[in-house]
Every structure is written in structure tokens, then in C-alpha cells.
Structure 1
Amino acid sequence: MITKSAMLVKPIFQLLALLLTPILVWSHASYGQSFVQEVATSYTVESGLTKGKITAIALVNNSPLAFSNNDIYELSGHTWRSKTGHIPAKPASALTQIEGAKVLSSVTYQNRLIVGTAKGLYRLTGKKIERLMPSNEKYNWALRKVSVVLVDSRNRLWFGAEEGVGYLDGTHWHLFTGKEGLPYNQFTCGATAPNGVVWFGTSKGAIKVENDFFTYRFSQRWLPDDVVNDIAIAKDGTAWFATNNGVGQIKPTSITLEQKADYFTQQVEQRHNRMGFIAQSHLKKQFDRESWEHAISDNDGMYTAMYGAAQAFRYAATGNPQAKILADRCFNSCKWLVDISHEPGFPARVIIPIDWPEPVNEQYGHEYNKRHQQSDPMWKDIYPRFPKSKDGNYRWKCDTSSDELAGHFFFYGIYYDLVAKTDEEKKAVQDVVRAITDHLIRHGYKLVDHDGKVTRWGDFSPEYFNSVYGYDQRGLNSMMMLSFLNVAKHVTGDNKYDLEADKLRKQYNYHIFALHPKEFFPPENVVPWDNNLCLMSLYGLINYETDPSLLLMYRQALETAWLHVSKQKNAFWDAIYQSLANKFTGLADQKYFEGKNLFPENHLYAPSLVQSCYKASNNPAFILENLQKIPLDLIGYTMDNTHRLDIVFDPTPGQDPTKGWRTDGYALPIDERGHVRQDRDGFALRLSEGDGNDEHEGTFFLLPYYMSVYHNLIQP
């Protein structure tokens, strides 16, 4: 957790106490295998330190001392206090220069002095000076600017230089550049930790090396400032950092996935539940989590539905009665969005009380709409954007989009199957699903607003798909409309929705369009939230389809959509894909597609598709990795990774120049990018989700976690 004041240091210790508590408020499940979750705390002038640069950090009896140019500070509880005493000078090397080059670092290794200089790495034996030229099967380096030399707990000699990082293990050099995962090479300091772990400080963050894997800690998420002047490591592996704006602490904490889920459920309930609707919270003071206040999003319905789906999966997987209470509440909130609007079946985006402090209709008035139309001519000039409810007690936001529909239908099918038990509960789901679906059918597959016109992003009609304005939405929206109808048929049992879907297929080829379930090129047509809408809608489309021919086509669409995001390491998208692919595997094992003369005009299509798509092609380990690495701190920090050495920029013509991935072809780890919402691009190297002014809801972890547990993709 990043905190920016003395007052805000306290929550991190409360969090650590929470994580170490054997039984938590929300949990009734047994805990699984633990893993290490790194938790960050920042101490600045508001924590009692001097303003500005901390030059050094040291541990005395395992307690930190921070040094500025003129003062010493010791940590007392959560506050730093000035301490009287002499500021120790760093031990000076007997040598200041070697072969005319300034000495930058030194260490004793095997009873000989190892010295790093601006022009190389040297070993001194008595008066003999020997230049070391690290080399292996890939590299042969004449080092420059060797700023760091260390000997780790396994007696390996390390260096940090402009060429990269390396260590000598016996007689063999192990050398690392960006190609091998080194994120950055402007080193300032270093320290050794237990179990052979080494930390390097740089002018832009800190790097941990463990078992030849590099972890990069930079930005306000992890440190009070990116310039690291010194590092000290405690016995338990806690790392302390002296930076240009205070002291940072990164503490390794043992935790299980179920404990992490408990934490995030409490986080949502405490700071992200507004009248039953789930959304980000606004921070009145930047980075200050305790300054939170309720906020509204553009898609409260979708985010509430996703949290509700998480709790539905939780209830089905664990039987926890609290999960049913929360899923029920989310369902009632989503239904309220539908009930409050101008016409049956039109879901509002947001509901706020009439005395909401923001002047929402003034903010979204005609002048705003006209300005917006300069960049989006299809933008609606609708007023009021927040009409009053019929009882006059609330306002609801209109111009609802496909995002909201994707969330509603995704949740309703899951809630109906896993949570609704009584006839009354099931009828409530049937009523709201029927209302929304009938609204779309009644208006020619459109969401029609209180002005009698289609919303900006709510058009699923054949006319729209065959226009210059909607051709690029054809694949996604055709597939989504078929998914909505499948959910409606499954929930209500009404065959009219099958007939409607059959009409869309036979007259307008919606199932053919669905084979291209989203846009992939050109880059200007590709937006990351379409990945979310696509995969969430495929979940209902495939799970509730029974026709073998259509299942084959939809499985092809799933693979096409998946391949486009398969390198992004998004646990939610991975979980949707693998659960649906596993369902297909089960059907294939049951010979569901054999002996039915499918696609007689091309008898090879069915067997070849069954063979090529028989099993899921994802790496299941990435789901677990992603869930473990999701930070506990979901403040939306600005994180710019474009300076890194271990990335490859996306060479796609017309692509945003700040898009790219790690040299292994996959997105950067989730805790090293500014990614705190499901529907974001894992390849965005420069990302800000509110620049520290918002905290985002723990659904980011909860939905993929409980979905994966329910579908037996991971063990809790």
C-alpha cells in the first residue's frame, strides 16, 4: 500500500494484522497454500521525515534509521522522529582511482578486493590489478560504469553496470540484459537479502533479482520517489529504501488466495458500495486512501454485475451464506437500474440520490455534448442526461451502452443458475431478463432512450451493421445480440427468443458475423473494453447453446477472440476462455459433434475444428500467477514503462507507439503496470487510471478468482 502521510501509514499495519489473522470476518472456507504478497508503505515529510532527499538507510537491531544530509531519523511506531547522534560516514575505499578511472563501488570476495569503476571491473590481489571481463556463451563484456558490486548470501559475486547485471557462480558468469529480463541499468546502489536475493537501486526504481528473475518496483505504487539512494534489508526480507522524497518499505507477507479474497471483499464493502452499486471511489487527497468518498462511474451497472457474478461463483464454490447475500443485493441493484427508467427494459447506467453533490446535468449539458461531437459526430446531444425518477427521489443516467448490457446478461445467467433457488427468486430474474430483451426486440434490436432515439452505443440492428458508422461493430454486436437471446431463452424458457435468434441468423447472418467476434485491425478500431464485452458475451452464448453446428462456429469465434488477447496475462479473460474451452472438450469427448452430418457442403469443417480446438490453448499457470501478483493497493497510479530495457514495442502499422510487451512476448507482470480494471490493455506501457485520485474495486481480483475456483481451474 502506498501512503503519503503519517495518518496513512496506519492502514498498512492494520492490513498486515488482518492478513496474519487466522480467521477473517467474511471467510468460512479453508485456506490453501500461501505465497508471498509484497506490501509497500511510503514515509515522507508528513510521516516526520525531513522534506526531500534521504541519502542513506541502515538497520540497527533490525530497526531502520534514515539519514539526510544533516539529520538522523528513527522509526517509532508509524512515525519517524529526529534522533541525536553522529551521522556515520560511509567506509572509504583505500583506492579512489584505478587506471585513471573513479572507483564507484567495492566489495571483498574470496579475500580479494573487487572494485567497480567508470571504466571497468577489477580484482586486486596484493598489488596486482586484474581487469575482469565477464563472458559466457552469449556475451563478452568490457564493463563500463560498474556502480554496484555485491556478494550475496550464496557467496556469488554480483555487479551492476551499463552493459547489464551479472554474477559469478564458481567459475561461470551469468549475464543479463533486457533480453534476459533486466528492466533498467542506471544503477545507484545495491543490497543483499536472504536466500540469494539481491536488490539494485536505480535512478528510476528498484530491482529485485530472485532465482534469475527480475522484479521491478517503481512509481508511487511502490516507492515515494523513483530515485533510490540506498537500500537496507531486514532479516525477514523487508526492503527499506532511501529515496529523493522519503523512505520506502516493501514487506514480503505470507498470504493465501482466500485471505486475499477476504481482504478485497472487505475493501469493496467498505469503500466501493454506494446504495448497492459498485464503482471506484474518489480520493479527495491524491494517493490518500483514507480520504475516499463515493463516486459514480459511467458503467455502474456493469461493475455491479461483475461483483455480483464474483459473489455468485463464490457462493456456488464455497456455500458461504454471505456470498448469497451480496449476490442478491447486486441482483436487486441491477434490477433497480432497469425498473427506474422511462420505459420497461431500458437499464440506466447509474442511479444517484436527488441531492447528489455534483451538478451532473450541468456538467453534461448541451455545450458539453456539442464539444464532444467535434471528436465523435455520433455522440448524442440528449438532455437531461440524468432524468428524475418517477418518485422524484433519484436521478438516473441515460444513453446506456453495450457495456451495461454485457454486464447485465453475463450476471443474470450466472445468478439464475447458481444463486436463485426459490420460485420467487427465479421469477425476478426471468422478469428483468424478459424486460430488457423485449425492449431490444421491440425497438428493432436497439436501446431506445427517453428521447425516442437509439443510444450512442446501443445499436444491434442489421441496418447499423450495414452502414459506414456501424460496420466495425458488426462482429461484436451480432455475437452479443445472439448471446442476449440465448440467455433469455435459458432463463425464461420462452421459445420466442430462439425464433428471434433464428431470424437473425437466417435473414441477417448474425452467426456468420460472430465468427469475427471483435475488431483486430486497424489499431484505431481496437479498444480493450471490447475484449471484455466479447468474452463475457461468449460465456452466455456458448454455455446456453445446444445446436452442434452453432457450437462449432462459436468455439471458432472464441479461439479467434482469445488469440488476440492470449499474451496479456489477464486472469479474467483466461478464466472465461479456459472454462468455455473445457466445456467444448467435454462435448467432444461425448462425441457430441459426430454422426450428425454437420456442414455437408464441407465435410472437413467439423472434424478439423474439433481437432484444432479440442483443448484450451492457454497456460493455466498464468491465472494463478496473475491472481497472486495483483497488488493489494488498487489506487490508479500512473505507470510509464516505455523506458524499460526488457520490452519490445508493438510494430503493428498505425499502432500507438506506447504499446508493447516483455521480451518473452507476454505483457509485463500485473504489479508492474498501471492495470487495475478488467477492461484495460495489458500491452499499454504507459497507463494512468486516475493518477492517484481514485481507488478501484477489488472485483479486479474477486471475479477471476472465484470464477476460476468454481470452474476448477485453480485450487483455493
Structure 2
Amino acid sequence: MNSKRLLQSGIFILGLMLSLSSIGQRKSNQAQIQDTPFIQEYSIKYNFNNDRVELRRVAADRNGYVQVLSSHGLLRPKAGQFLFPGELVKDVQYLPTSDKGLKDLMSHQKQLVYLDDKAVLSNAWAGKLYSRHQLPEARYFAVDDDFTFLISDGKNLQLLDWDQVRWSGVAEDEVRAIRYDALNKLYWILGQHTVSTFNPAQKRLTTILDDASITCIEVAGDQLFVGTNDGYYEVDTKTGKPGAIKRKLPWNEITTIAKLEDGLWFGSTRGAFKRKDDGSYRYYSSKRWLPSDEVIDLADGSENSILILTNKGLGKICRKEMTLHDKAMYYDKQVRERHIRHGFNGTVSNMTDGDVTSGSLQTSDNDGLWTTMYLAGEVFRYAVTGSSEALQNVRESLDAMERLYSINPVPGFPSRSFERRGYKYHDKPWRRAEDPEWDWKSTTSSDEAIGHIFAFGAIAELIAEPDLKNKAITLIDTLMSHALKHDHYLVDWNGEPTVWGRWNPEYVNARPVMVGDRKINSSNYIGMLQTAYHFTQKEKYKKAAFQLMEEHGYYENLMRPMKEIGPAPEDSDDWSKMLSSGWNHSDDEMYYCGYWGLYRYAFNDTLKANYKKAIVDHWEHERPEKEGLWNIMTALVGKDNYDFEEAIWYLREYPLDLIDWGIQNSHRKDIEFVEPNFRKQTIREVLPAGELRVSRHNANRFDLDSNGRGHAEYSAGDIWLLPYWIGRYLGVISEPQK
């Protein structure tokens, strides 16, 4: 069958009279993934910037009272909440303790216990614990279940109970730490180059290991975990036999190990990490989680939190049970409180060290695109919930989008952005509006246009309010009439096509067939024309689409398998080589915004079936990224499971903190690197979103490092709320479950 017969065969199924609310929607009780509660992590940081004071230990009691032992006495956290760091200050809550010149600190039976130059003591148990010792320079201690303490001043050792010194001795190596082994009723002693045991029943010291690389120890069950400057290993506590060194870690220079209530944790010179049940590691580094990456101590905090002491302060990893819907409501507040400018969904920039109150909303080349992705999400939210707030959000953002067309003098041409005169970057794309209060930004690109058509189509289909529906259809017609009038180009104020607003065959087919620009422009533009025809029923759009597909190869272009996309040949023009230097993740975003109109508003069943093949083929190539939006949006084409579990993992793992902190992962030893490739995949398995930089959907999820400095906060509107709400609408995600 030739391409013309193929394209025009099938039953014409879409028309303006179709019931718009019934296309493809599933009821929430048919959702493939149930939105059950999960644990969301976030960090509260307490900074400390006095380089003359050394931070040493952290502990908390059953009441949630946190103390940090320093070289200048006890400190405590002050203020501090999510996104707004507190600080560590001198602890004067109870002067009889804080004035004692304490040398060590621990939590025992969830009570704070101290070591000073005279005794082991506590304010718990009515203050009755006051076990005197005879080591004025004592600075290390550990305790068994019967309140028997082994203490050391670095050389001498003493065993104490509540009333007396039961034993004194001398260590063969300089003591650096002591841990108690409840299973074997032993104390493990870390020296400068040895690990020894002390048997309190036999009053005997025994050297078990001699290893100068050891940095720390911890007892967990029947294993002693031994940290070194190049990984860690386990020692059987009964036999003393060491296991193999483990070096496939986020970082190998271990500074501390702690058996906490939720598992085994490691501190290092480049962050902290927890060993998961499957043997992999959850990594916490950068100012998203910690004041600094140089970890000194680890401890359990209150309400299932983890306390991570660094050389620059304390990080408190908090855990909150929530559903995806709860998370959506949090992100909704983030967007509405800080990221709305004239109805646009924008970024807060020029911040100082992550302080969201120090930054300003900025214009962007992609104000239209980021806003339409947020706008579409609110449309799906309204379609699912009937929320009046979502409807008002749609109104405000649609007003901003409409003004992009009216603020400039070019009929049907959408501006990139607009801003009050005097509050913009002084670059060439900015033009003066007729209103002396305003300027508008020109050079609009195809990624803006496809975002517009995606959101306007969703409004026209799913919102029955006549003013919104009619405005959306008018804007679709306005933009696409401009493109047809100007021979499939976006033509700017100067009468010239913009650099990226080009869908004309002369431009599109000038690229070799393997260059992705040829496929993406064909796919997007046919979807745009289908959307325009579906809602206006104007034959000019249908005629143009079939002409491009039948006479100019746009159908073959958009159906080309992704495996055929790659670098242009060496003899190609420089533009084609530039366009095909690697996988274009912005194209992925454009494809998926365009798939809404390409598949949903297909001219006939035959086209729709073949579009499905193209979309699923694209999704197959995206699977390694485990990108939540791509997996969820592929549900457009049917009820198959397009890695929805991975999409939920993406949504759950995405950090609440959307600040552009610098993130480093390329140093890690627990990730498997792959050879350089066109796809720009760097490692075998993509990392969780909480361990990666905050990025929009046009970024490569295999990028391991970023140089962010906490200067910007991204909006959740396009990043997270769109995949969640379209997932709710398409029946991928259920309503929240108790």
C-alpha cells in the first residue's frame, strides 16, 4: 500500500462533535498504580562557621533534645526549618552540665550520657548516674546493657560501674574509639593501627587486627564493621576473621560508621550513605542534604530522623509519611507562593546560598514552554478533581499565554516572554511594545510553539467553561494560521523566520534522514496541524498536513525508528553535524508535548495505530532514564504498563528541595560506567532523583555532576506536577489511599 492510501485509509473518528471528556480517561479506581503512603525525606540544616572550634559528636535523647559536643563545649541547634537553615549555638539550657568541660557524649537507652574529667554522668535517671573514674584526661567511652563503662584517655583504660572502678589497664596502641558488642559481651577498641577486644569477665585485652588504614569501627549484630581510608570490611565478631574489602561505595574514605535504628550508615569525606537491604547505597551529599560533605558523626534523631554532623554544622534528615497527592499539594504551594510571574511559571534566580527569600523571579526564553507544561498539569488536575483553585490557575496562566500574542505587532506570532520596561536583560531579542510600560521578547522557537498547542488543546478538550475553551481554540487557530500564512515558518518582527521556528520542507528535509531534527519537526508539526483541524474543523489544516505527509515525506520522517537516529555523515553540512552531535533531550520533551495532539487527534484510525508504534518505539529508547513524564505520557496509547513503577519511583524520589545545589557523583565507586555513546548515557543504572541535580525534562538524567551554587530554585509546576496530574488523568496513578 502506498503512503497516500495508507494515510487516508481508516475511519475518520475525530470531530468537533465528539464528547471531549470521554477520550481515553480512566476512572481512578481503575488506576494501575495505587497512591499509597511512602517515606519522603528532606533535610533541615544547622550551620556552624567557626573554624576555631572542632565539632566532635552528636546525640539526641528520647525527647528530641539534640546536643553537639565541640572542642569548646556543648552546642545545640537553633531555629531551622526546611529551606531555612538554623545554626548551632552554645547550649546554656542546663548550666551545671554545659559548664563541666565535657569530653565525650553518647545516647544510651535514648538518654544523653556524658564523660568529663571526673565521671560518667547523666541528667536522666534522676541524675543518679555519676560513675567516678581516675583518668583526668579521659575522652572515649562505651557502655554495656548493665551500665558498665569502659573509658580511656588514649592510653589508659578503666572499667566502671555505677559505684566503683572495677579494672584498670594500659592499651598497647593509642586508643581512638571504643564500641560495645552486646552479642559477645566484649568491648572493641580502635587504636592507631590495631583493633583489640576487652573481655570484662576475664579482664583480658586481645589484639584482633593490625591495619594502619583503619579509620573507624562499629558493631552491628555478629559483625564488626571496619572503616578504612579506602572502603570497609566486616569482621566476624566470634572468630575475628575479616572479610573482603568493599570498595564499590559512593566514596571510600570512611570517617565514621553507625548502626542506627533504620540500618547501617557510613560517613565519609564526601558525604554520608546508608546501606540498603539489597546491598546498594543511598547517598546524601551536597547542600541539599548537609552543611558540608565532610562527615564527623552519625546518630538517631527524633521522629525517625537521622543526625549527620559535619565540620560545618549539622544536617537532620527528616522522614515524613506522605502520598503522591500530599506531595502534589506541597509543590502546589511552592509554585503559587514563589514561582508565578504575571501567570507565567518561572524560576527564582540570583539567590544567595539557597535562600529563597533572597532571589527574584526572572524572565526566560522558555517562559511559554514552562508555563504551558504547568498549565496543562492544572488542566488535568481540574479534569480529575474539579478543583476551583486549579481552574483559577488555568485562567491566570492562559491570560499570560494570550498576552504573548497580543503584546507584539506581528499577527499570530507568540512572544517568548514579556516584562516591564527596565526590568529585563538588555539583549537583542527584546523589543519595545506599543505600551511604554512593557517590552516583549522575540525569536520564538518551535519548543515554545509545541508547548502552546499541547496546553491549548488540553484546555479545549477538557474544560467546558466557554470563555476558556473558546480562548484556547482561538489561540490554536491564531498560531497555526500564522504558520500556514508564512509557509510553515514562525516569522518574527523583521519579516524573517526565527532560527528554530521552522517546519518548512525546504528546511526539514535538508537534514540527512538520521538527524533527529528531521523527525522531531515532522512529528511536532503534524500533531499541531491535527490539533488545529480537530478544534476548528478548518480544512486548510488537514490539507496542509496530508500534503506534507504525502508529498514531502513528513509521515516517513515521523515514523522513522529511533534506532536510526544518530550522527550525520562526515560530509554533511555543519548545521546537520551540530544538530546530531548527541541525543537531544530537549527533543524528547518536544516529542512528548506533541504526542498529545499527534495521537489523540489523529485524522483516522490507521494513522492513530501507526502513531502508537512511533510513540512506543520512542519510549523503548527512553526506558533507561526511568523518566517519570515519558513513562506516564506513553499511557496515551493504551493500557499496557509502560514502566509505571519506575515513574512512581521517579515521583517519590524527586527531592522536595528544588534548589540548584552543586551535585557530584562521577567520583562514586558504586556505579557502573559505560562507554561514551550517542545517547549520552554515562552509567548502567540511572541514579535516584534525590541524588541528582534538579532539572527539567529536557535534561539528561545520566548527567552525574553539576556546578550549582544554590543560586536558583526551580518550579515544580513543569517538573513534577505535570507528570503527576496527567498520570491521574490517564489512570496511571490512583487517588490517594489511606
Question: Shorter-chain TM-score: what band?
Answer: 0.7 to 0.9
User: 1:520–1:564: 8 Å Cα contact kept in structure 2?
Assistant: no
User: 1:44–1:50: 8 Å Cα contact kept in structure 2?
Assistant: no
Structure 1 SS opposite 2:625: coil
Does residue 1:533 correspond to 2:590, yes or no?
A: yes
Question: Distance in 2 between the 1:120 and 1:63 partners?
Answer: 35
Structure 2 SS opposite 1:573: helix
User: 2:664–2:706: 8 Å Cα contact kept in structure 1?
Assistant: yes
Query: Match of 1:41, as an amino acid?
Result: I
Paired residues in the alignment total 608
- After superposition, the C-alpha distances for 1:618-677 in whole angstroms (9 at most, x for unaligned) are 321112211111111101111111001122233135786xx523xxx3310000000332
5+ residue gaps, structure 2: 1-33, 81-86, 92-97, 104-138, 142-150, 157-169, 568-579
User: 2:599–2:637: 8 Å Cα contact kept in structure 1?
Assistant: no
- After superposition, the C-alpha distances for 1:332-352 in whole angstroms (9 at most, x for unaligned) are 211211222232221111110
Deviation at 1:264, TM superposition (A): 1.0
Query: Match of 2:441, as an amino acid?
Result: K
Q: Cα distance 1:189–1:497, how it changes in 2: closer, same or farther (>3 A)?
A: same
Question: Distance in 1 between the 2:247 and 2:544 partners?
Answer: 55
Does residue 1:568 correspond to 2:568, yes or no?
A: no
Question: Distance in 2 between the 1:292 and 1:223 partners?
Answer: 21
Question: Distance in 2 between the 1:625 and 1:242 partners?
Answer: 29
In structure 2, the residue matched to 1:418 is: 462
User: 1:647–1:660: 8 Å Cα contact kept in structure 2?
Assistant: no
Q: Which has the higher strand share?
A: 2
User: 2:53–2:72: 8 Å Cα contact kept in structure 1?
Assistant: no
- Could you tell me which of 264, 273, 277 is aligned with 1:207? 273
Question: Distance in 2 between the 1:642 and 1:277 partners?
Answer: 35
Does residue 1:112 correspond to 2:186, yes or no?
A: yes
In structure 1, the residue matched to 2:714 is: 696
Does residue 1:34 correspond to 2:2, yes or no?
A: no
Q: How does 1:440-459 map to 2 (within 5 A)?
A: 440-459=483-502
Deviation at 1:506, TM superposition (A): 0.8
Deviation at 1:395, TM superposition (A): 0.9
User: 1:284–1:293: 8 Å Cα contact kept in structure 2?
Assistant: yes
Deviation at 1:144, TM superposition (A): 7.7
Does residue 1:671 correspond to 2:690, yes or no?
A: yes
Query: Match of 1:223, as an amino acid?
Result: L
Q: Cα distance 1:572–1:167, how it changes in 2: closer, same or farther (>3 A)?
A: farther
- Given the two structures, how large is their TM-score scaled by the length of structure 2? 0.76
- Could you tell me which of 383, 387, 390 is aligned with 1:320? 387
User: 1:636–1:693: 8 Å Cα contact kept in structure 2?
Assistant: yes
Q: Cα distance 1:157–1:294, how it changes in 2: closer, same or farther (>3 A)?
A: same
In structure 2, the residue matched to 1:90 is: 140
Structure 1 SS opposite 2:39: strand
Deviation at 1:496, TM superposition (A): 2.4
In structure 2, the residue matched to 1:642 is: 666
In structure 1, the residue matched to 2:657 is: 633
User: 1:51–1:246: 8 Å Cα contact kept in structure 2?
Assistant: no
Question: Distance in 2 between the 1:260 and 1:59 partners?
Answer: 29
Q: How does 1:113-192 map to 2 (within 5 A)?
A: 113-114=187-188, 129=206, 145-152=213-220, 157-161=224-228, 162-164=230-232, 177=246, 182-192=249-259
In structure 2, the residue matched to 1:509 is: 553
Structure 2 SS opposite 1:458: strand
Q: Cα distance 1:156–1:626, how it changes in 2: closer, same or farther (>3 A)?
A: farther
Q: Cα distance 1:187–1:494, how it changes in 2: closer, same or farther (>3 A)?
A: same
Structure 1 SS opposite 2:71: coil
Structure 2 SS opposite 1:329: helix
Structure 1 SS opposite 2:616: helix
Is 523-532 or 536-545 further displaced after alignment? Answer: 523-532
Deviation at 1:96, TM superposition (A): 7.0
Q: How does 1:321-470 map to 2 (within 5 A)?
A: 321-356=388-423, 358=424, 360-361=425-426, 364-365=427-428, 385-419=429-463, 421-467=464-510
Structure 1 SS opposite 2:140: coil
Deviation at 1:90, TM superposition (A): 2.8
Query: Match of 1:81, as an amino acid?
Result: V
Query: Match of 1:269, as an amino acid?
Result: R
- Could you tell me which of 475, 496, 507 is aligned with 2:519? 475
Deviation at 1:434, TM superposition (A): 0.7
Does residue 1:484 correspond to 2:484, yes or no?
A: no
In structure 1, the residue matched to 2:121 is: none
User: 1:571–1:622: 8 Å Cα contact kept in structure 2?
Assistant: yes
Deviation at 1:81, TM superposition (A): 2.9
Q: How does 1:272-283 map to 2 (within 5 A)?
A: 272-283=339-350
Structure 1 SS opposite 2:68: strand
User: 1:124–1:130: 8 Å Cα contact kept in structure 2?
Assistant: no
Question: Distance in 1 between the 2:238 and 2:565 partners?
Answer: 50
User: 1:478–1:514: 8 Å Cα contact kept in structure 2?
Assistant: yes
User: 2:582–2:678: 8 Å Cα contact kept in structure 1?
Assistant: no
User: 1:535–1:561: 8 Å Cα contact kept in structure 2?
Assistant: no
Structure 2 SS opposite 1:650: coil
Does residue 1:291 correspond to 2:315, yes or no?
A: no
Structure 2 SS opposite 1:192: strand
Question: Distance in 1 between the 2:605 and 2:503 partners?
Answer: 25
Question: Distance in 2 between the 1:167 and 1:703 partners?
Answer: 49
5+ residue gaps, structure 1: 1-30, 133-141, 366-384, 586-614
In structure 1, the residue matched to 2:89 is: 81
- After superposition, the C-alpha distances for 1:667-703 in whole angstroms (9 at most, x for unaligned) are 1000000033222110001124x53111110122211
Question: Distance in 1 between the 2:235 and 2:593 partners?
Answer: 46
Does residue 1:521 correspond to 2:566, yes or no?
A: yes
Does residue 1:54 correspond to 2:55, yes or no?
A: yes
Structure 2 SS opposite 1:395: strand
Question: Distance in 1 between the 2:467 and 2:265 partners?
Answer: 59
Query: Match of 1:624, as an amino acid?
Result: I
Question: Distance in 1 between the 2:589 and 2:469 partners?
Answer: 27
In structure 2, the residue matched to 1:262 is: 329
Question: Distance in 1 between the 2:331 and 2:655 partners?
Answer: 11
Structure ID, larger Rg? 2
- Could you tell me which of 701, 706, 726 is aligned with 1:687? 706
Structure 2 SS opposite 1:291: coil
- Could you tell me which of 688, 707, 714 is aligned with 2:726? 707
User: 1:516–1:560: 8 Å Cα contact kept in structure 2?
Assistant: no
User: 2:154–2:176: 8 Å Cα contact kept in structure 1?
Assistant: no
- After superposition, the C-alpha distances for 1:486-522 in whole angstroms (9 at most, x for unaligned) are 1112222223212111000111110111123778534
Q: Cα distance 1:654–1:261, how it changes in 2: closer, same or farther (>3 A)?
A: closer
Structure 2 SS opposite 1:199: strand
Query: Match of 1:416, as an amino acid?
Result: A
Question: Distance in 2 between the 1:396 and 1:575 partners?
Answer: 35
Identity level (%): 26
User: 2:412–2:482: 8 Å Cα contact kept in structure 1?
Assistant: yes
Q: Cα distance 1:353–1:436, how it changes in 2: closer, same or farther (>3 A)?
A: same
- Given the two structures, how large is their TM-score scaled by the length of structure 1? 0.78
Is 333-342 or 476-485 further displaced after alignment? Answer: 333-342
Question: Distance in 1 between the 2:448 and 2:688 partners?
Answer: 29
In structure 2, the residue matched to 1:580 is: 636
User: 2:300–2:307: 8 Å Cα contact kept in structure 1?
Assistant: yes
Root-mean-square deviation (CA), in Å? 3.2
Question: Distance in 1 between the 2:618 and 2:208 partners?
Answer: 54
User: 1:240–1:250: 8 Å Cα contact kept in structure 2?
Assistant: yes
In structure 1, the residue matched to 2:288 is: 221
Deviation at 1:437, TM superposition (A): 0.8
- Could you tell me which of 65, 68, 79 is aligned with 1:66? 68
Q: How does 1:290-309 map to 2 (within 5 A)?
A: 290-309=357-376
Q: Cα distance 1:245–1:481, how it changes in 2: closer, same or farther (>3 A)?
A: same
